[in-house]
A and B are shown apart, each in its own frame.
Chain A
Amino acid sequence: MKKGLILGIGNILMGDEGIGPHLIEVLTKTGIPDGWDAEDGGTGGFTLLQYFENYDPIIMIDASLDENPDGTIRLVKPRFASDYPTSLSAHDIGLHDLVQSAQLLGYTPEIFLFAVSVSHFQDISDQLSEGIEDKIPELANKVLELVGKLEKGKLQMSSQT
């Protein structure tokens, strides 16, 4: 079994809303950490449930509609579905529904969510805006740092037992 999954969510046709998939594309080029998988979750609805079954932990990246300035990167550790930030990803079957469904089925991977604040108004475009594009290296570093911490944590745990 793989160590964990990095899952980018969003619609690449809606400008900055596509930050999740864009990041996965970058990470795929620069290198995924050993033993981890990276998936472009796109606008997938219940299709994504299989990842909740097969991976633990999962690091998600999604665009967020909130009061923060554009490009703000927050790491959230959602405990309940209601903890997920308001997302532009009005996925037909939203992240809330997805996580709740996973819980109902008894899949409870540890989930970390990088929420990137984006503007409410998105042009129809397959490009990121300059301000969000500039955040990609920082976001990639944060994701990789978290991967490092999680691996270390796991190592410590296993050395204790």
Chain B
Amino acid sequence: MANRIVIDPVTRIEGHLRVELEVKDGKVVDAFSSGTMVRGIELIVKDRDPRDVWAFVERVCGVCTTVHALASVRSVEDALNWQIPQNAELIRNLMFVTQMMQDHVVHFYHLHALDWVDVVSALSADPVATSNLAQSISSWPKSSPGYFRDLQKRLKGFVDSGQLGIFANGYWGHKAYKLPAEANLMGVAHYLEALEWQKEIVKIHAIFGGKNPHPNYLVGGVACSLNINEVNAINAERLAQVKHLLDDAKVFIEQVYIPDLMAIASFYKDWGAIGGGLENYLAYGDLPTNGYSDVSSFKFPRGIIMGRNLNEVIPVDGKDGEQIKEFISRSYYDYSGGNETGLHPWEGETKLAYSGPKPPYDYLDVDKKYSWLKTPRWKGNPMEVGPLSRMLVGFASGKTEYKEVVTEALTKLDVPVTALFSTLGRTAARGLETRLVANWALEFYDMLITNIKNGDSRTVNQEFRNPDTWPAEAKGVGMTEAPRGALAHWIVIKDKKTANYQLVVPSTWNASPRDANGQRSAYEASLIGTPIADPENPLEVLRTIHSFDPCLACAVHIYDEKGRYVHQIDTF
């Protein structure tokens, strides 16, 4: 009997995101991913001063707050050919790596780990054995039997009070959990430590961007000044604080995150053959070390891998009208030139035309339009974006440090290279790039300090400050790598105003509906073949969806094929 499973989550990036699945003989046979709420940011920024747009787009998400601001200021700079000083580039890089480290750690421990770690099982762990386990995989100091005993007591108190709270929504006891109790207790301990750590690292955003959670950006540079002796500037004391936070981050990532990731992965190697989905990977790249126009200087290289061929990296051009296009054949929009055409984002249109069922409804009409997400394609091909794409493009570009961390992880887990193309591969790639980023962070910091010592404290280029210097019409694209993947904003400036603005965000690539040719996007493709042991508790589906870091809290509803309500689980 085919079961229909509906996952209807909520996200701030694109409103609600919902997945409907057909399950037969214990496996997913079809999947439909739908954005059920419209994102109207393109309409809000129309006619605004292009230099103000970042402050609006930054608000579309509360999790990756800085990435949209970065893409936005870059799009304007690109349109006006506005170069920024190297210090500004470095400070943007430092804010970027801060965002990525914080976001990836929060994702691993707070949004994804509980798909693998059973909190309730942790209550029965032996603190001495947990201590032995922790000390066998890492030199992290918080690993004594007493530490784990106290932690377990706290956890018991929390559970006994009936306030399971953030742990309330797991599938505790599900047979797909395979970790021993001690590994579960260690995982929970680090869940709490990660919570403490993440609130420290984001202080870097407040230092350079003035405030949290929505720091200041600036077209033409950064919104802070460098002066080691000035109280109100980025001075010696603040720089020392940044260094301290970056050092701590590297230690936490190397001694907690990575050992945990490897330990957990070693119990779930079968997930190295599940959830692969698409075979094409796209990364715009980022972290320039010689100006944004020198793509070859990027720490995250730009490029495309087709058909999992790691011997070739194909270039991608955001300005080529024939490469990236958005289609709406299955999306609730109308295009003036017809709904079967694809539009490059500079020509993009945002005319809302909802044609789905009137809520509340049981199922989407998946034979017709079924999503508020448009469907982006590169030369007609669906692409996966995210940490896995970045690691694969870096690996295929022949960069030594990528090869090193990837090979080390594969060897340690004793899995073949094909295990990269999977749910486990996606989750591992996120950790491995965090490791790289933690090192690069210190490089950027050192470069910044060297510049300051050499007397270069410029953080802004005022060249185009006066809009009278702008051409009557200009077009730009601002690309970056959000934690969740390739992100770009396209702007058309006319008469000093924003005439058109289009965002193609990572979740649009990954979570979009299929295209007119029936090609699935990444979420839908990755779920095909996923085993479902217990339709009442579809833990396996969440593992794969969460491996993309979909930035959402979700509620899972399960229906049988006649639409009978079977079960509803709220999950985080």
Contacts and interface: CB of A to CB of B under 8 A. Distances in A.
Interface of A: 11-13, 39-50, 53, 80-81, 90-94, 96-97, 100-101, 103-105, 124-126
A101 B198 CA distance: 12
A78 to B, nearest CB: 13
Given A49-B199, A92-B552, A104-B192, A43 B165 contact: no
Dominant secondary structure of chain A at its interface with chain B: mixed
A47 B199 contact: yes
Contacts of A93: 62-63, 110, 553
A100 B165 CA distance: 6
Contacts of A11: 12, 59, 62
B44 A125 contact: yes
B214 A42 contact: yes
Interface of B: 10-13, 38-41, 43-44, 56, 59-63, 65, 106, 110, 154, 158, 163, 165-166, 192, 195-196, 198-200, 202-203, 211-214, 551-553, 572
B72 to A, nearest CB: 14
Given A13-B44, A97-B572, A43 B195 contact: no
B38 A124 contact: yes
B213 A42 contact: yes
A40 B62 CA distance: 12
Interface-central residue, A11, A94, A101, by most chain B CB under 10 Å: A101
26 contacts: A11-B12, A11-B59, A13-B41, A13-B56, A40-B214, A41-B213, A42-B213, A42-B214, A43-B61, A44-B62, A45-B213, A46-B106, A46-B110, A47-B62, A47-B202, A50-B202, A90-B10, A90-B553, A92-B13, A92-B61, A97-B572, A104-B165, A105-B196, A124-B38, A124-B44, A126-B56
B43 A124 contact: yes
A81 B110 CA distance: 17
B195 A46 contact: yes
B62 A12 contact: no
B553 A92 contact: yes
Interface-central residue, B62, B200, B202, by most chain A CB under 10 Å: B62
Contacts of B196: 105
A100 B211 CA distance: 24
Given A90-B12, A124-B44, A80 B213 contact: no
Contacts of A47: 62, 65, 199, 202, 212-213
Nearest to B352: A124
Nearest to A106: B154
B11 A100 contact: no
Contacts of B158: 104
A11 B65 CA distance: 12
A135 to B, nearest CB: 22
A100 B107 CA distance: 17
Contacts of A105: 192, 195-196
Contacts of B59: 11-13, 42-43
B503 to A, nearest CB: 13
Contact of A100 (B13, B166, B213): B166
Nearest to B205: A47
Given A43-B61, A91-B12, A50 B163 contact: no
Nearest to B552: A92
A48 B165 contact: no
Given A13-B41, A53-B199, A97-B166, 13 more contacts: A11-B12, A43-B12, A43-B213, A45-B62, A45-B213, A50-B212, A81-B163, A90-B553, A91-B62, A92-B61, A103-B163, A104-B165, A124-B43
A150 B70 CA distance: 41
A44 B213 contact: yes
Contacts of B11: 90, 92
* Smallest CB-CB A-B distances: 5 pairs: A44-B213, A43-B62, A124-B40, A100-B165, A47-B213
Interface-central residue, A40, A41, A44, A80, by most chain B CB under 10 Å: A44
Nearest to A81: B165
B553 A94 contact: yes
B68 to A, nearest CB: 11
A119 to B, nearest CB: 16
Contacts of A80: 163
B214 A101 contact: no
A92 B63 contact: yes
Contacts of A42: 59, 62, 65, 213-214
A92 B212 CA distance: 16
Nearest to B212: A47
Contacts of A96: 165
Nearest to B166: A100
A11 B37 CA distance: 15
A149 to B, nearest CB: 28
Nearest to A126: B44
A153 to B, nearest CB: 27
Contacts of A101: 166, 195
A42 B212 CA distance: 9
Contacts of A46: 106, 110, 195, 198-199
A53 B63 CA distance: 19
